[in-house]
Amino acid sequence: MNESLSHIFVDALLINNFVLCVFLGMCSFIGLSGKFSTAWRMGVSVMFVIIVSSILSYGTNLVLVRFHAEYLRIITYIVIIAATVQLTEMFIKKTSPALFRAMGVYLPLITTNCAVLAVPLFQTSRNYSFVQSVVFAIAASGGYTIAIVTLSLVRERVELSDVPSLAKGTALTLVLAAILSMAFMGFAGMGNGG
Amino acid sequence: MTNSWQMIRLLGAVSLLCGLLIVGTQVNTAARIRSNQETIMRESVARLLPGIEKQIVYGIQPSGDLIILPGIEVSGPRFFAGYDAAGNFLGVVMEASERGYADVISAMYSYSPDTRTITGFQVIDMKETPGLGNKISSDLPFLENFKHLDATRPIATVKHGAKKNPWEIDAISGATISSRAVGRMLQKSVAEVAPVIERNLDRIKRGQ
Amino acid sequence: MNWLSSRSFSQGVHVPEFKDATCRLPIRRLPFAPVLIVPLSQHTGAPAVSIVREGQEVVRGEPIAKAGGFVSVPMHAPATGRVERIALAPTARGDLSPAIFIKPYPGASQEILYGAPQDIEHMTPEQIIAAVQETGVVGLGGAAFPTHVKMKLPEGKRVDTVIVNGCECEPYLTTDHRVMVEQPAEVLAGARIAMKAIGASRAIVGVEDNKPDAIDALRKAAAPYTNLTIQSIAAKYPQGAEKILIQVLLGREVPSGGLPSDVGTAVFNVATLAQIGDLLPRHQGLIERVVTITGPGVAKPGNYLAALGTPLRWALEKVGCNAGVASVILGGPMMGAAVGSLDVPLTKGVTGVLVLTSREVNGSRKIYPCIKCAACVEACPMHLNPSRLGLLARKERYEEMENVFHLNDCFECGSCSYVCPANIPLVQYFRLAKQMNRKRKAIA
Amino acid sequence: MKPVIELRTSPHLHAPRSVETIMRNVVYALLPICAYAVWLFGASALALLVTTTAACVATEIFICKMSGRESSVGDFSVIITGLLLGLILPPGFPLWMAAVGGFIAVAPGKMLFGGLGFNVFNPALVARAFLQAAFPVAIMGYTPALAVHRLSEFIPTTFAIPLIKAAPLAGWIEKTRVDAFSGATPLMLEKFDHVHSELWPLLIGQRAGSSGETPALLIFLCGAYLILRRFMDWRIPAAMLTSALVSSAAFYFSDPSRYPNPFFMLLSGGMMLGAMFMATDPVASPVTPLGIWIYGSLIGLITVLIRLKGGLAEGVMYAILLANAMSPLIDNVTQPRSYGARGKEVA
Amino acid sequence: MNQDQPTCHSASPEPSPSETFVAFTAGLWKQNPVFVMVLGMCPTLAITNSVRNAIAMGLATTFVMASANAFISMVRKLVPKQVRIATYISMIATSVTIVDYLVKAISIPVYKALGPFIPLIVSNCLTLERAESYAGKNPIGKSILDGLGMGLGFTFALTCLGTVREVLGAGTFLGFPLFGSNFEPWVLFLLPPGGFITLAMWLLTFTLWRERSDKRKRAREAALEKPVEIAS
């Protein structure tokens, strides 16, 4: 199906939000959403890596298809992601030590963030064109960032309240995520109503 | 120096091992996967065209011509023609998809070029709301719509209980969006494929 | 009320005034107590140093202690009598501090025998500042900061406008109100002395519009002077706070952690200036002040001219206390502190004595969790976020309060606690937080 | 020990308004709406309101007891949650589901976060969203207003057996309807069938809908009472209704044949109830002056977008929940500039 | 999380067989990857709306973990530190690709139901975590057992979630209707929020259970210590 760019964008950003509706990038969503300062850095790093690796894997996929080597997709994609992460890390370390201090810890974690691997996989299985892939990568990683940043601020706020000791920790985070996810259900069918 | 050389050698060995394993698996499973996919398709088509014994997959070229596809590997514009044991033409089965409430709904439907009606409809994949939208695959009164759906006119979805004409689809109450998506999908697909079938009907009937 | 023409500021709260009981009563004199307790530290800064011995005879108005440094002022004998002893006396803060106990002679006159006229017109600013220090005048609005220190500008700072603070926005208190009504000439004289000492070209007297008689009296007295303006401003709490008043009158904002002189102004309380205007030409010292003694627990509320050092218990006996006194507050109800003992003396910084009965002091108000109604955010004159500060304080995140939420800009006006529907003791939290931060820094 | 210290610190005066009076007055303001709902939709609406309130109160008492806290029912906030939940469910909603909703509202929606003042989301809306997702069919079971036997008999779905599918409503509606009724609210008619509704019935609430969301005028007046007595922040409803009006007007004037009249948007669905009683929940809304305006406008805008562009007919609930989620962010970016901060930067 | 293991060790009377046994059972319960370590969240939440899918996903992960652990343990002494992660990831990716094809060959409907989550096993933090902390340090037999144990523990957790979600959300278990056709399903549990809620409920249950068992353990220890004190 030939999807319009705006639709791909809204769909990946809100309707089928990567985190809240498709359950991708869960570990970091739960583990790194405790502090706003961590969350936004993680969000930005993920956005960068997703967009770069999406572009790289689009090109790689063309090569794989050309040589009928689709069975190497998973392994090449993960290598591309690992390489992107590694190169980004080195690049930031060289150019901006301050930025590296801020982001450095989060970058290696991105390799095992399934949201990052999911983007190239989805864009391949959905036969997106290059432009569609880029839009999809931006929207999907943007959706991830929105979710993790929102959750982190909500959690910072909850930190100031008297949460019963039993519920502290992951369970409470999950309940918050559940309510957020219910709220995102309001976007279902967006752009398709008329 | 020796250290990096050692590293490269090791990585090479690892890649070789991985490559061998992957290729081995791929080679060993390819036939099985293919037959699995064929079976599923065949079963879906058979469910829509009862009494089918033989089926041909036609691909539609950009020029509008038909070619017979070797199997179901090749995606793109295509349809299935079904024949009974005696080789009589039963009808065609087409694939269609459309955005529903939650995500894309993809479906198959059978179409009779002789009467220009849709004779059956089956959802293949969807993520519609359980209990509401997902009734499009199970709600019997709704599926009743597609036993004889007139496709000579633009197919339209009307609200529950308001169906008056044979080309209208009676929507599921409370699942308007999903029902409409089905109507839109059929309407678009028929408009696209029916003329091609019409033009090549003789050839299809002969099974060439 | 001319509320249309009155200026005001955007935040703050409207507090019931409770001023009717005393605002029309003329200032009356309290007789001498059997013993007057003159603490050596009635002001901000170094304590004064006693220059009398036990048993020495002193004359009313005579210096009995000299300033303990530049940021310090001398003390003068409030009555003619004998120095009974020099010993520790309880203070309103709750601790003990050295004080001179003076036993006035029975029948000692209220007349001030000490002092001689001096010519202000021909004095240099430095001489005026020195003379002001000799009078022992400190900020009589409650801060008790030595006035001459305020007049001595830091290097490189210039002040163009003297602001005279006649707001008296605290409920119940009418001290400044009566001073403005009864001594407008002294107030303006003091303002002119301050202008001369500082080198300012004009002075603005800001008076809240709930005191029309004070505005009238001042305007009449100011008629001959072109560089003195009387500005009526809409009544609102805490308009009398220095920084707020500067913003209302001049539209200037004192930088966080800065002083009024950073924006070219200096602020003096009306009562302070009235004393300077009165004492300086006669070269006398500050020995008495006007104190509003009021509240539901007082039988004869009013404004009383009390000799400094008058014990609180004695003053309250003189004005009569009703049954059921629950709390005695020095200062106004919004920022004043409740005293733990009635044996403390009235000092230079005491603007009023408020006696509340158990009906007003209802300790059983239940504390609810913060419902984030934002009333405090709208009330805070410093535009802080007391709601968030309160939540952080509950979790003892004091550093974050200071670094992210500007805790140190809070001057504890009490507006947030006043409006809080959940009765959260916000100001108390903030005091504690500041204390903890100071302690932490001291350790570090 | 503690109260003695509190006695001794300033300020010694206190404004008369307290949490308890605020909450009590919100309950008063909700009662006329409840009464009108019972008159419009009959005995079932009454049973629904009683059930939700009882379920909420019972849950709160139970949790307080379990966690060894002092019962917090006395602050009335749980009663507000209960009444609001009843008002935003369809009148014939099965009572057992309503009771589940009451539990969800209070247990995970409020007490999990520490009770009053700490809930991140509006508890009643959390429960409504839960029920909407859990029982999408039952929550669409709207019945007509002013049905003939409404006061003497219950809507059959009301007493559906727990965990068992409720019988379809069509038969009952057939029997009691006063005029043609399609089982849809005006918003659903507008969205899915392009049937326009008159504004007057929307204003006085004689239409299908959730039990308490229909009488726009009455809800407005009850909200106005709270605003005038300063128990509620006027800026949130003002921002929300204005932004809804402006954004829907933009749609309307771009294509009047396709999009509904902006005033229809204001009066239909739960817009008025949401603006007056849901979005104004102080706990889940920002505290900064600018933040409050942003928050209100955001709700209005998202509501209109969901209604006109989304898959659902109604979007107020989701809009408020989303804005609740955003309110810590809004609060953080709109911290007021403290007095003197500008000078500090220069210095 | 890891301090559980030493206590297990010291508690066991015969070291060698029980050690192997511990390697296997730790993942099942004491160090359950989902309920205790909170790892591998994506499939835990996404693929548990039916028991069948949950088990299939769990088994696929188990296979990947066992085989990846085996490979990694094999080469663990040869791999220099710098390229450790890269090697591990390629090993895991290889296992995943194999599983991907195997599942497709076994059943297309199951493959479709698991969607993108089979390839995504690669970036499941659980697999890399075990590779790093166990397979990279232990002999091959134990590593395989660890992979199997962890994988089965993962499967167990997924099945727990799947059961709640399928029973409440559809009224069925493994596709068999449990309550008859009149059951009103709680559709929510099949939707994304249901995944979060179900996991939250399980975690709460686990916390409660552990708290109670801790309390009991402490009580027992206290009871044991008392007489000793009296004696001394």
Q: How confident is chain D (347 residues) per 10-residue block, as mean pLDDT?
A: 45 87 95 95 94 96 88 90 96 94 94 90 96 89 84 87 81 70 79 82 88 93 95 94 96 92 91 95 93 96 92 90 95 88 49
Q: Which of B131-135, C158-162, C415-419, D56-60 has the lowest mean pLDDT?
A: B131-135
Interface test with E, best of A16, A29, A53, A75 (most E CBs within 10 A): A75
What are the CA-CA distances from residue C221 to residues A181, C186, C215, C224, C226 (Å)?
71, 10, 10, 7, 12
Res D225: pLDDT:
96
B105 vs D contacts (CB less than 8 Å): none
DSSP-derived letter for residue C68 is: S
pLDDT > 70 fraction of chain C, expressed in percent and rounded: 98
Tally A–D CB contacts below 8 A. 99
Residue with tokens 């909170």: E38
The closest CB to that of D8, out of C338, C364, C370, belongs to C338
D193 vs B contacts (CB less than 8 Å): 159
Longest dimension (CA), chain D: 78
DSSP-derived letter for residue D5 is: H
The number of folded domains in chain E is 1
Whole-angstrom distance, CA of residue E132 vs CA of residue C104: 89
C-alpha count within 13 angstroms, C-beta hemisphere, residue C230 = 24
User: With bands split at pLDDT 50, 70 and 90, how would you rate the model's confidence at C115?
Assistant: confident
Whether A162 sits inside 8 A of C369 (CB atoms) is yes
What residues contact C317, with CB distance under 8 A and at least 6 apart?
A: none
Res E226: pLDDT:
60
End-to-end CA gap in chain E = 35
| Any domain includes E74 | yes
Whether D332 sits inside 8 A of A162 (CB atoms) is no
Q: Are strands B89-99 and B78-83 parallel, antiparallel or unpaired?
A: antiparallel
Q: Which residues pair with B58 in a beta bridge?
A: B68, B79
Q: Which of B7-11, C38-42, C260-264, C419-423 has the lowest mean pLDDT?
A: B7-11
Whole-angstrom distance, CA of residue B168 vs CA of residue B188: 14
Helices (H), chain E: 4-11, 15-28, 41-46, 51-75, 84-106, 108-114, 125-130, 140-170, 192-231
**What's the mean pLDDT when you consider all of chain C?**
90
- Between CA A12 and CA A21, with CA A15 as vertex, the angle to 5 degrees is 85
Res E2: pLDDT:
38
Helices and strands in chain C: count of H runs, count of E runs: 13, 17
Whether E196 sits inside 8 A of A178 (CB atoms) is yes
Whole-angstrom distance, CA of residue D109 vs CA of residue D103: 9
Would you give the distance in Å from CA C105 to the centre of its chain? 30
Whether the Cβ atoms of residue C99 and residue C89 lie closer than 8 Å to each other: yes
Residue A73 has pLDDT above 50, yes or no: yes
Q: Which of C128-142, D6-20, D190-204, E126-140 has the lowest mean pLDDT?
A: D6-20
Subunits with 3+ Cβ pairs within 8 Å of B are A, D, E
Whole-angstrom distance, CA of residue C422 vs CA of residue D287: 15
E186 vs D contacts (CB less than 8 Å): 134-135
Subunits with 3+ Cβ pairs within 8 Å of E are A, B, D
**What's the mean pLDDT when you consider all of chain E?**
83
The closest CB to that of A79, out of E90, E116, E125, belongs to E90
Taking the Cβ of residue B9 and every Cβ of chain A, the question of whether any pair is shorter than 8 Å is answered with no
Min distance A39 CA to chain C CA atoms (Å): 19
- Between CA B170 and CA B175, with CA B171 as vertex, the angle to 5 degrees is 170
Whether E184 sits inside 8 A of D166 (CB atoms) is yes
Whole-angstrom distance, CA of residue E62 vs CA of residue C264: 76
Closest CA to D83 of D121, D41, D42, D29: D29
Taking the Cβ of residue A119 and every Cβ of chain E, the question of whether any pair is shorter than 8 Å is answered with no
Whether the Cβ atoms of residue C177 and residue C211 lie closer than 8 Å to each other: yes
User: Span C323-344, mean pLDDT?
Assistant: 86
Whether B18 sits inside 8 A of E78 (CB atoms) is no
DSSP-derived letter for residue E137 is: T
Residue A63 has pLDDT above 90, yes or no: yes
Q: Which residues pair with B112 in a beta bridge?
A: B117
Q: Which of C110-119, D126-135, D222-231, E183-192 has the lowest mean pLDDT?
A: C110-119
Whether A27 sits inside 8 A of E44 (CB atoms) is no
Res D198: pLDDT:
85
Res E229: pLDDT:
47
| Any domain includes B202 | yes
Whether the Cβ atoms of residue C63 and residue C115 lie closer than 8 Å to each other: no
A170 vs E contacts (CB less than 8 Å): 38, 200, 203
Res E9: pLDDT:
37
User: Span B75-87, mean pLDDT?
Assistant: 85
Task: Convert D37-49 to b/e letters by CB count within 10 Å (16 or more is b).
Answer: bbbbbbbbbbbbb
Res A172: pLDDT:
92
Tally B–D CB contacts below 8 A. 16
The closest CB to that of E120, out of A20, A73, A117, belongs to A117
Whether D321 sits inside 8 A of A182 (CB atoms) is yes
In which element (H, E) is residue D264 found?
A: helix D262-267
Chain E touches chain D, with at least 3 Cβ pairs below 8 Å, answer yes
Environment class of residue C262 by beta-carbon count within 10 Å: exposed (0-12), middle (13-18) or buried (19+)? Answer: middle
Res D347: pLDDT:
34
Class of the CATH-defined domain C3-25+131-282: alpha beta
* pLDDT tens-place string over residues C272-295: 999 999 999 999 999 999 999 999
Q: How many CB atoms lie within 10 A of CB C91?
A: 20
Res B177: pLDDT:
83
Residue B26 has pLDDT above 50, yes or no: yes
Closest CA to A131 of A54, A16, A22, A60: A54
Q: Where are the domains of chain A?
A: 5-184
Closest CA to C348 of C144, C63, C64: C144
Whether D118 sits inside 8 A of A161 (CB atoms) is yes
Residue A131 has pLDDT above 90, yes or no: yes
Residue B125 main-chain phi, psi, to 5 deg: -150, 135
The answer to whether ipTM exceeds 0.90 is no
| Any domain includes B185 | yes
Whether the Cβ atoms of residue E162 and residue E49 lie closer than 8 Å to each other: yes
Quote the tokens at residue D330. Answer: 């809004």
Whether the Cβ atoms of residue D282 and residue C371 lie closer than 8 Å to each other: yes
Peptide bond into D11 cis (omega under 30): yes
Subunits with 3+ Cβ pairs within 8 Å of C are A, D
Res E227: pLDDT:
53
- Residues of E in CB contact (< 8 Å) with B are 71, 75, 78-80, 82-83, 86-87, 90-91, 93-94, 97-98, 101-102, 104-105, 107-109, 112, 169-170, 185, 187, 190-191
Dihedral, A120, A124, A126, A128 alpha carbons, nearest 10:
90
Whole-angstrom distance, CA of residue D255 vs CA of residue C135: 81
Subunits with 3+ Cβ pairs within 8 Å of A are B, C, D, E
Residue C171 has pLDDT above 70, yes or no: yes
Min distance C391 CA to chain A CA atoms (Å): 6
The closest CB to that of D136, out of B131, B176, B177, belongs to B131
Residue A81 main-chain phi, psi, to 5 deg: -65, -45
Interface test with E, best of B14, B16, B17, B129 (most E CBs within 10 A): B14
The closest CB to that of E184, out of D130, D133, D163, belongs to D163
User: With bands split at pLDDT 50, 70 and 90, how would you rate the model's confidence at C233?
Assistant: very high
The parent domain of residue E56 ranges over 18-174+186-220
User: Which B residues 35-74 touch E at CB under 8 Å?
Assistant: 36-37, 40
Measured between CA atoms, the residue of chain E closest to residue D130 is E188
Residue B58 has pLDDT above 50, yes or no: yes
User: Span B155-168, mean pLDDT?
Assistant: 84
A75 vs B contacts (CB less than 8 Å): 18, 22
Whether D134 sits inside 8 A of E182 (CB atoms) is no
The closest CB to that of A1, out of B26, B97, B101, belongs to B97
Res C64: pLDDT:
94
Whole-angstrom distance, CA of residue A187 vs CA of residue A143: 13
Q: How many CB atoms lie within 10 A of CB E216?
A: 10
Res A26: pLDDT:
87
Residue with tokens 């009164």: B141
Res D1: pLDDT:
28
- Between CA D319 and CA D137, with CA A10 as vertex, the angle to 5 degrees is 50
More confident residue, A13 or C10: A13
Whether A150 sits inside 8 A of D309 (CB atoms) is no
User: With bands split at pLDDT 50, 70 and 90, how would you rate the model's confidence at C362?
Assistant: low
Res A1: pLDDT:
46
Res D8: pLDDT:
57
The closest CB to that of B129, out of D136, D192, D193, belongs to D136
User: Span C431-441, mean pLDDT?
Assistant: 93
User: With bands split at pLDDT 50, 70 and 90, how would you rate the model's confidence at E15?
Assistant: very low
User: Span A183-188, mean pLDDT?
Assistant: 90
Res D185: pLDDT:
85
Closest CA to E94 of E105, E102, E104: E102
Res D7: pLDDT:
46
What residues contact C172, with CB distance under 8 A and at least 6 apart?
A: C17, C18, C19, C21, C22, C292, C294, C295, C332, C333, C352, C354
Min distance C338 CA to chain D CA atoms (Å): 5
Quote the tokens at residue C371. Answer: 């419902």
Helices and strands in chain B: count of H runs, count of E runs: 4, 9
Q: How many CB atoms lie within 10 A of CB D324?
A: 28
More confident residue, C166 or D67: C166
Whole-angstrom distance, CA of residue E65 vs CA of residue E150: 8
Res E213: pLDDT:
87
Q: Fold for domain C375-443?
A: Fumarate Reductase Iron-sulfur Protein; Chain B, domain 2 (1.10.1060)
The closest CB to that of D311, out of A150, A176, A193, belongs to A193
Whether B130 sits inside 8 A of E78 (CB atoms) is no
What residues contact D52, with CB distance under 8 A and at least 6 apart?
A: D82, D83, D85, D86, D89, D98, D99, D101, D102
Residue B25 main-chain phi, psi, to 5 deg: -60, -45
- DSSP, residue by residue, D66-111: HTTPPP-GGGSHHHHHHHHHHHTS-TT--HHHHHHHHHHHHTTTTG
Whether E199 sits inside 8 A of A30 (CB atoms) is no
The number of folded domains in chain B is 1
DSSP-derived letter for residue C235 is: -
Q: How many CB atoms lie within 10 A of CB C51?
A: 14
Q: Where are the domains of chain C?
A: 3-25+131-282, 375-443
Q: How many CB atoms lie within 10 A of CB D280?
A: 26
Whether D233 sits inside 8 A of C374 (CB atoms) is yes
What are the CA-CA distances from residue B158 to residues A163, A192, B120, C133 (Å)?
51, 17, 19, 94
Res B11: pLDDT:
80
Res D343: pLDDT:
47
